[in-house]
A and B are shown apart, each in its own frame.
Chain A
Amino acid sequence: MIEQYDSLVIRCPMLGGEVPFQYCRKLNEELPCRKIIICWEFRIEIGKFLNEHYSFNQIHQALAPPNKTRLETILELIEKAKKTKEEQG
């Protein structure tokens, strides 16, 4: 059952606060957080859990590094803002 570990709590080092396992397994658009293995491998059989509940493609999608950096995203937003300002005259 996919909810088997949901009540376990961990300190999320990104947030600086406690979160339930449910947060970690749904963080990434309903797929697991990209860091789920590193955070949980010492507490539960995380590899087994992932294999039981997700397809290879889902695991790959969830754990793969981002294909675009945040700075690239920022630069895109800057360009968008410039266009908006131009449109507003």
Chain B
Amino acid sequence: MKEYKVFLREDEIPKQWYNIQADLPTPLQPPLHPGTGQPIGPQDLAPVFPMNLIEQEVSQQRWIDIPQEVIEKLLIWRPTPLHRAYALEKALGTPARIYYKNEGVSPPGSHKPNTAIAQAYYNKVFGIKRITTETGAGQWGSALSFACCLFGLECKVYMVRISYDQKPYRRLMMNTWGANCVPSPSKDTNAGRKILEENPDSPGSLGIAISEAIEDAVTSKDTRYSLGSVLNHVLMHQTIIGLEAKKQLEKFGEKKVDIVTGCAGGGSNFAGLAFPFVLDKINGANITIIPAEPTSCPTMTRAPFVYDFGDTAATTPLLPMHSLGHAFIPPPIHAGGLRYHGIAPLISQLIIEGLIEPRAYNQLEAYASAVQWARVEGAIPAPETSHAIAVVIEEAKKAKEEGKEKVILLNWSGHGLMDLGGYDSYFSGKLVDYPLPEEVMKKSLKEIESLPKPQAVKKGKPV
């Protein structure tokens, strides 16, 4: 009888996270303080992050123990199953063997709680009693609400008002987990009150919500702020995905994997699956590792290496990364999780080193792949996940042409049941592809011309 999925026993859950900083051929360049242009120190970040997470952010230790308290919470849904996509293989007529790690089985429905749980724990042991964050449509906000609930922490989520009004379901998830989710701008902060005084009907923005969350964190007792992607420690917390997948592939009888892929917005779910395999590649394994992004937001596939802000609102420290500049907002893609304009610095460095090979797919191709997937494998993927599914289908077809039995591994990062509006737009023909014109990219890059440029380094040598 064919095996469709492999579970790990609970006692087989990984006990350590993998920190790829220990194995980078070239160490990451330090973030710069935007005021002085000098490398920032732990104290610069201390008002918004607990010191134990700041220590993880800069750690060079290869393996970091996962605290037992974190493991106990992760066991609510982890280890997640590794599935074999027999139906897709058959539909494509490919000799490739396709596997996918199902991160959609978490209570919030995505990979996000892997770091939310860890961040909530480290805040708690540091003595923090309350965490703030911002959210757009609510994926990160719901994950952090869930995590705070499990650790008995208060959670305050500033949700952009237009999404708060239009998208009640994730807000209700947050409420169900006990979080205080308020529409931003709110009356709870100086930043929010100022906006409301001028415009009581303000629909809000992500920039306002971030301002409120950070003001709240730095002015309230025992409170810190939490970010769901981009930062090193966030990516490290996600490596439990790839570490589990390695064990599960062995149980499937696979001795090697040929292609590893995941979608990459800020980079956390891709990194979570891929980094343990990047280690194998550093040690000589022949693996093609592909982060997938939309053609309309080409942060990895076309942009030069520059210093940029870690989020659209330019809130986080200056980080070296592949980016289109903080002024860049991608065209209207239907993949909210891919909305980061700049990929994580760790992923930028891996691109420079040639260890991973990003690809871009247009949104129609991605949606077509998602629908094809749903019609044979059943589960409806999140819009951002569909870009990685496009990689899988492309590579499976290529394996068919070449007559090769390749092993393909996908991070199925979340379900799309909260994003059916995007599918509706696809089916009704409202989606249009927007490949980014060269002149638009140049225009955007002009805005960051004055920022200091890091030297791209590959294997210790400038490139």
Residues of A within 8 Å of B447, CB to CB, are: 65
Give A49 Cβ to nearest chain B Cβ, in Å.
16
Query: Taking A23-B162, A27-B205 as contacts, is the C-beta distance between A74 and B48 under 8 angstroms?
Result: yes
Contact with B along A53-89 (1 / 0, CB 8 A): 0000000000001100111111101101100100000
Complex: how many Å from CA A74 to CA B318?
13
Residues of A within 8 Å of B214, CB to CB, are: 70, 73-74, 77
Complex interface: stretch among B13-21, B52-60, B235-243, B325-333? B325-333
Give B182 Cβ to nearest chain A Cβ, in Å.
16
Complex: how many Å from CA A9 to CA B424?
13
Q: Does the CB pair A17–B336 fall under 8 Å? A: yes
Q: Does the CB pair A81–B218 fall under 8 Å? A: yes
Q: Does the CB pair A70–B314 fall under 8 Å? A: yes
A-B contacts, CB under 8 A, total:
133
Query: Within 8 Å of chain A (Cβ to Cβ): is B137?
Result: yes
Residue B313 contacts which of A27, A33, A70, A72 (CB distance < 8 angstroms)? Answer: A70
Query: Within 8 Å of chain A (Cβ to Cβ): is B156?
Result: no
Q: Does the CB pair B206–A15 fall under 8 Å? A: yes
Q: Which of A12, A19, A30, A80 has the most CB of B within 10 A?
A: A12
Residue A38 contacts which of B314, B318, B440 (CB distance < 8 angstroms)? Answer: B440
Residues of B within 8 Å of A18, CB to CB, are: 166, 421, 425
Q: Does the CB pair B317–A71 fall under 8 Å? A: yes
Contact with A along B101-120 (1 / 0, CB 8 A): 00000000000000000000
Complex: how many Å from CA A10 to CA B425?
10
Minimal Cβ-Cβ distance residue in A for B422:
A11
Query: Taking A71-B314, A81-B218 as contacts, is the C-beta distance between A13 and B330 under 8 angstroms?
Result: yes
A interface size (C-beta, 8 A): 38
Give A10 Cβ to nearest chain B Cβ, in Å.
4
Complex: how many Å from CA A12 to CA B422?
12
Minimal Cβ-Cβ distance residue in A for B341:
A13
Contact with A along B424-447 (1 / 0, CB 8 A): 010000101010000010001001
Residue B47 contacts which of A30, A69, A78 (CB distance < 8 angstroms)? Answer: A78
Query: Taking A11-B334, A13-B297 as contacts, is the C-beta distance between A42 and B314 under 8 angstroms?
Result: no
B interface size (C-beta, 8 A): 57
Complex: how many Å from CA A72 to CA B309?
12
Minimal Cβ-Cβ distance residue in B for A41:
B440
Query: Within 8 Å of chain A (Cβ to Cβ): is B61?
Result: no
Residues of A within 8 Å of B290, CB to CB, are: none
Complex: how many Å from CA A35 to CA B338?
17
Per the 8 Å Cβ criterion, residues 1-55 of A in contact with B are 9-19, 23, 26-27, 29-30, 33-35, 38-39, 41-43
Give A3 Cβ to nearest chain B Cβ, in Å.
15
Q: Does the CB pair A71–B333 fall under 8 Å? A: no
Query: Within 8 Å of chain A (Cβ to Cβ): is B312?
Result: yes
Q: Does the CB pair B198–A29 fall under 8 Å? A: yes
Query: Taking A38-B328, A71-B314 as contacts, is the C-beta distance between A14 and B205 under 8 angstroms?
Result: yes
Query: Taking A14-B206, A18-B421, A27-B205 as contacts, is the C-beta distance between A73 and B211 under 8 angstroms?
Result: yes
Q: Does the CB pair B339–A14 fall under 8 Å? A: yes
Q: Does the CB pair B137–A69 fall under 8 Å? A: no
Query: Within 8 Å of chain A (Cβ to Cβ): is B35?
Result: yes
Q: Does the CB pair A78–B316 fall under 8 Å? A: no
Complex: how many Å from CA A67 to CA B419?
35
Q: Does the CB pair B137–A75 fall under 8 Å? A: no
Complex: how many Å from CA A69 to CA B313?
8
Query: Taking A16-B139, A16-B336, A77-B218 as contacts, is the C-beta distance between A38 and B444 under 8 angstroms?
Result: yes
Query: Within 8 Å of chain A (Cβ to Cβ): is B315?
Result: yes
Query: Within 8 Å of chain A (Cβ to Cβ): is B178?
Result: no
Q: Does the CB pair A13–B336 fall under 8 Å? A: yes
Q: Which of B199, B210, B316, B336 has the most CB of A within 10 A?
A: B336
Query: Taking A16-B136, A38-B444 as contacts, is the C-beta distance between A78 and B34 under 8 angstroms?
Result: no
Q: Does the CB pair B219–A30 fall under 8 Å? A: no
Query: Within 8 Å of chain A (Cβ to Cβ): is B337?
Result: yes
Per the 8 Å Cβ criterion, residues 291-325 of B in contact with A are 297, 309, 311-318
Minimal Cβ-Cβ distance residue in B for A71:
B34
Residues of B within 8 Å of A33, CB to CB, are: 205, 329
Residues of A within 8 Å of B206, CB to CB, are: 14-15
Of all A-B residue pairs in the complex, the 4 with the closest CB atoms, nearest first, are A16-B336, A35-B329, A15-B136, A70-B315
Q: List 10 A-B contacts (CB under 8 A).
A: A11-B332, A15-B136, A15-B162, A15-B339, A19-B203, A23-B203, A26-B203, A70-B309, A72-B34, A80-B218
**Chain A residues engaging chain B, CB cutoff 8 angstroms:** 9-19, 23, 26-27, 29-30, 33-35, 38-39, 41-43, 65-66, 69-75, 77-78, 80-81, 84
Given contacts A15-B162, A26-B203, A38-B328, 7 further A-B contacts (CB under 8 A): A13-B297, A30-B199, A38-B330, A38-B440, A43-B332, A72-B34, A75-B44
